[in-house]
Structure 1
Amino acid sequence: MVIPARFGSTRLPGKPLLTIAGRTLLERVAAVARVAADIVGGCEVVVATDDHRIADHARAIGTDVVMTASDLDSGSARACAAARARLSRPELVINLQGDAPFVPPAVVAGLIVALQESKADVATPVYRLDWDRLDRLRVHKQRAPFSGTTCIRGVDGRALWFSKAIIPAIRDEPNLRRAGPVSPVWQHLGLYGYHMAALEWFAGAPQSPSEELEGLEQLRFLEGGRAIVTVEVDPPAHAMSGIDTPEDLALAEDAIARLGDPFPA
């Protein structure tokens, strides 16, 4: 299980070391990873970074570290480099983004099962938005348009597309709202499980056109003809798929104040 963690985020520099309710982002994500690793069994946890400040902090909180090159273009490429650096080559790799502190450990562990049961190259979780959550996402995107990713999936769970825009467009929304409490929009949780061969393919492939436009690395898999299976999960109580902006930090603090701190004891 790899936690990619960069210091040089353009929107939020030093992001892994920033604190939410007294604990750093990296500390929160590492704690989730350790609980998930215990659920799965036989799973290592490592932070992949190119920054010694992050590496020092990771060791201070008891997490193994792999130093990776600074020119890697995505969290998936960093996860691949970290996996290749292990003494034995793993068959499956979980990429737990270093800015997703509220992902339940059971969701992380469930990606392993999804990969074992499916022929897909990649597995990733999504959850369906009710109308209230969709309304909140729309308001949030007025302030931070590149925070939050949505997904279109087939009836078999296969991912068809991801976007920083809210997809699909909804032609007859008033009637759909009257018909039921859930919208047709799926939101993506920012973590992935890969077969190692697929991850190595990704690391050797160039950025795809839509990946470059959207800033979404999973589009490299889709545009390269690779299969991604989506795993339906319950909407997270804290409703934060990632921390990308100062506004997201404030929202995370507010969520903890209202709902309690999910940090594993």
Structure 2
Amino acid sequence: MHKTLIVIPARYGSTRLPGKPLLKIAGREMLLRVADIARYVCQTQSDCDYVVATDDERIVQLCEQHQVRYLMTSEQCNSGTERCFDVLQQLTEKPDFIVNLQGDNPLCPPWFISALIESWKSSDVGEVFTPYVELSWPELDKLREVKQVTPFSGTTVQINREQLALTFSKNIIPAIRKEASMRQSSALSPVKRHIGLYGYTAKALEGYFAMPESTYEQCEGLEQMRFLENSIAVKMVKVGYQGRTGMSGVDSPEDIQRAEAIIASDGEYELVP
């Protein structure tokens, strides 16, 4: 049986939103919402477990109060990926597949995580697995508007016939020469937006830290480019929001309000297997 471990990196010291994992969204701490999602996925997947990775005693107290498994990780960890690696180093029985579910992603659709796990179990290729959505033309128009204000928000990806990533960029790729005719012939644009959720084989996660920071990783500020630049296959997994409003991580008080508005509009996830 192949073992999956969902790691939830949770850092207390956010500059924009101190104590972020402990802040409440619609009456429940953000970290507990993420743990609820991980618990649900583990109940619906075989041989799956989850753990919070933190370096702060206040987060430990919350985990202990609510019977959430946790591991202490180094204060020197600079990213969620590093915390996942720290957890992997501590475990005597290593998982085969590690999902990096950030502790500030309380509205991550659980089916996104399940899709990564199922793709890993069924795929002959791929050492890193990450989701994407296909953009309709109105969604592409909206992304272009957003980038006029914040050019480095939103990542796009190009994919080959085997569903492997060719490249990622903060620019909108591909360039579209005959856009008018393409809009008439298809409801979907050729642009695919990357969702920042990752699953790694243990080998790929360990290999990541044995490789130096790569050129395009530095240029784009995208850590997944290190895998591509070292010829490590990144399998793209197509997902959809199933009628819900999409939202990535929570980084500001405005994001908390937005998350609460989405919950009020779309309802809570039904996290019962």
Q: TM-score, with normalisation over the residues of structure 2?
A: 0.86
Shifted more, 145-154 versus 82-91: the winner is 145-154
* Corresponding position: 1:17 with 2:16: no
In structure 2, C-alpha distance between the alignment counterparts of 1:244 and 1:199, rounded to whole Å: 26
Report the count of equivalent residues. Answer: 265
In structure 1, C-alpha distance between the alignment counterparts of 2:69 and 2:258, rounded to whole Å: 30
State the one-letter code of the partner of 1:259. D
Q: CA deviation at 1:48?
A: 0.9
1:70-96: CA deviation from partner (whole Å, max 9, x where unpaired)? 222321221121122223111111111
* 1:260 aligned to which of 262, 267, 271: 267
- In structure 2, the CA distance between the partners of 1:180 and 1:99, relative to structure 1 (3 Å rule), is same
Asked whether the 8 Å contact 2:109–2:241 carries over to 1, the reply is no
- Partner SS state of residue 118, structure 1: coil
Q: CA deviation at 1:129?
A: 1.3
In structure 2, C-alpha distance between the alignment counterparts of 1:245 and 1:170, rounded to whole Å: 34
Tell me the equivalent position of 2:205: 199
Q: CA deviation at 1:197?
A: 0.9
1:170-249 → structure 2 map (5 Å cutoff): 170-235=176-241, 237-249=244-256
Tell me the equivalent position of 2:11: 6
1:105-124 → structure 2 map (5 Å cutoff): 105-116=110-121, 117-124=123-130
- In structure 2, the CA distance between the partners of 1:220 and 1:15, relative to structure 1 (3 Å rule), is farther
State the one-letter code of the partner of 2:9. P
Asked whether the 8 Å contact 1:147–1:244 carries over to 2, the reply is no
In structure 1, C-alpha distance between the alignment counterparts of 2:68 and 2:83, rounded to whole Å: 16
Q: CA deviation at 1:10?
A: 4.2
- In structure 2, the CA distance between the partners of 1:13 and 1:148, relative to structure 1 (3 Å rule), is farther
1:173-201: CA deviation from partner (whole Å, max 9, x where unpaired)? 33322222211121222211111011111
* Corresponding position: 1:53 with 2:34: no
* Corresponding position: 1:63 with 2:68: yes
* Corresponding position: 1:83 with 2:88: yes
Asked whether the 8 Å contact 2:21–2:103 carries over to 1, the reply is yes
Q: CA deviation at 1:36?
A: 0.7
In structure 2, C-alpha distance between the alignment counterparts of 1:163 and 1:24, rounded to whole Å: 33
In structure 1, C-alpha distance between the alignment counterparts of 2:230 and 2:104, rounded to whole Å: 26
* 1:127 aligned to which of 120, 133, 136: 133
- In structure 2, the CA distance between the partners of 1:209 and 1:70, relative to structure 1 (3 Å rule), is farther
Tell me the equivalent position of 1:162: 168
Q: CA deviation at 1:145?
A: 3.9
State the one-letter code of the partner of 1:25. M
Tell me the equivalent position of 2:3: none
Asked whether the 8 Å contact 1:74–1:217 carries over to 2, the reply is no
Q: TM-score, with normalisation over the residues of structure 1?
A: 0.89
Q: CA deviation at 1:214?
A: 2.9
- In structure 2, the CA distance between the partners of 1:155 and 1:49, relative to structure 1 (3 Å rule), is same
- Partner SS state of residue 157, structure 2: strand
- In structure 2, the CA distance between the partners of 1:147 and 1:246, relative to structure 1 (3 Å rule), is farther
- Partner SS state of residue 44, structure 2: helix
Tell me the equivalent position of 1:100: 105
* 1:39 aligned to which of 36, 41, 44: 44
